[in-house]
Every structure is written in structure tokens, then in C-alpha cells.
């Protein structure tokens, strides 16, 4: 597979997106990494994701990032509604000039305040549909599986996704 020309430089994925895709269709993570933006996971975030092994990460072409001591200290010193792991995603993305892939509203708000681009988890899948790397019907089936395991993905979110992928 060759990366698309519109590929972002990089994405830092938080645990909730990784868990959603690991439990619904982990192959989407490789498609995202190849065609939307290389997916990076800070090692402390990866430790939260029990649904993916190190072998899975390698197979899916996801990159584990070892945060620097400075990044860890900055994330630990952060305040607000975000967890240490989410603040670490923010700090790593900010330092590298990457976007954040998350379904967490508090993390998105933190990123927005610092002009760090964010993508919703299913927004990345919609980009794959738009660039013809994923059939819309398959994307919708995966979105429905995600909704069945993630109560934050409501019927309204599914309908918005369906509309976005033109189904």
C-alpha cells in the first residue's frame, strides 16, 4: 500500500480510539497509519491498551513513542479534566507537530486551546472512505460495532457518520 498524497505527518492516538478499533476491526488502524497519518502511541498510553500486543502494533504499522523525561514531567504537571495519559498525548503531539486522534472531549478541548489539530476516531475512518481506501458499507459496519461497545458513540453520532460517508 502506498500512502496517500494528503496524508498527515503524524497522529498521536489515545487509548480510547485504540481500544475501539482493537475491539471492532484492528485492521483500520493500519489503514489510518498508511493513508491518514502515521499512528504513534506514547508507551504509557500503550500500557493501558490490553487489546493489542506488541506484535499487533508492529503488524499494524503503529509506532510506539518513548516520551522524554521533560514530556513526562510536563504531562504530570498538567491540570484539568484530562488524565496523565491524555496530557502525554497532547505534549507529544505538540512537540512533534502532529495531530491527535481521540474521542475524548476534554483532550480535544485542551488541544483546541493550543491549536493542535484533532480527529475524532471515526473521522479518520470517514477520510479513508473519502479517499477510497475503505468501502462505506464496511466503515458503517465497523462504526456500528464501535457503538455497541462504546456508550459515548450514540445513535446521533452514528447518523452523522452515515451522512458524512454518504450512505
Residue range 108-112: mean pLDDT, rounded: 93
Are residues 28 and 127 in contact, defined by beta-carbon separation less than 8 angstroms?
no
- State the chain's mean pLDDT as an integer: 93
Strands 118-119 and 8-13: unpaired
Percent of the chain with pLDDT over 90: 90
* Spatial separation of the C-alpha atoms in residues 126 and 69, rounded to whole Å: 36
pLDDT at 1: 36
DSSP 166: T
Helix, strand or coil for residue 39?
strand
Structure confidence by residue, pLDDT tens digits, 20-63 = 999 999 999 999 999 999 999 999 999 999 999 999 999 999 99
pLDDT at 6: 54
* Spatial separation of the C-alpha atoms in residues 45 and 9, rounded to whole Å: 20
* Spatial separation of the C-alpha atoms in residues 34 and 32, rounded to whole Å: 5
pLDDT at 35: 95
Per residue, the 3-state secondary structure of 8-20, as one string, reads EEEEEECHHHHHH
Residue 47 zone, left/alpha/beta (φ > 0; ψ -120 to 50; rest): alpha
> CATH for 8-121, among 3.30.479.30, 3.40.50.980, 3.40.50.1010, 3.40.50.720?
3.40.50.1010
Residue 96 zone, left/alpha/beta (φ > 0; ψ -120 to 50; rest): alpha
Residue range 129-157: mean pLDDT, rounded: 95
Place 3 in a pLDDT band, splitting at 50, 70 and 90: very low
Are residues 66 and 58 in contact, defined by beta-carbon separation less than 8 angstroms?
no
Place 71 in a pLDDT band, splitting at 50, 70 and 90: very high
Residue range 101-112: mean pLDDT, rounded: 93
| Domain residue ranges of the chain, discontinuous segments joined by + | 8-121
Exposure on the CB side of residue 160, measured as CA atoms within 13 A: 9
pLDDT at 80: 81
Amino acid at each position: 500500500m502506498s500512502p496517500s498524497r494528503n496524508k498527515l505527518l503524524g497522529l498521536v492516538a489515545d487509548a480510547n480510539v485504540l481500544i475501539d478499533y482493537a475491539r471492532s476491526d484492528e485492521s483500520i488502524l493500519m489503514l489510518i497509519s498508511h493513508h491518514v497519518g502515521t499512528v504513534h502511541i506514547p508507551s504509557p498510553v500503550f500500557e493501558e491498551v490490553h487489546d493489542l500486543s506488541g506484535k499487533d502494533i508492529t503488524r499494524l504499522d503503529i509506532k510506539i513513542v518513548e516520551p522524554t523525561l521533560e514530556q513526562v514531567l510536563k504531562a504530570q504537571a498538567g491540570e484539568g479534566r484530562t488524565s496523565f495519559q491524555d496530557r502525554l498525548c497532547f505534549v507529544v503531539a505538540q512537540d512533534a507537530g502532529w495531530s491527535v486522534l481521540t474521542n475524548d472531549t476534554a483532550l480535544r478541548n485542551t488541544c483546541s486551546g493550543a491549536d493542535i489539530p484533532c480527529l475524532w476516531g471515526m473521522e479518520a475512518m470517514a477520510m479513508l472512505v473519502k479517499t477510497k481506501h475503505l468501502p462505506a458499507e464496511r466503515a458503517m459496519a465497523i462504526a456500528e460495532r464501535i457503538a455497541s461497545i462504546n456508550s459515548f458513540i450514540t445513535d446521533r453520532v452514528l447518523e452523522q457518520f452515515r451522512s458524512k460517508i454518504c450512505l
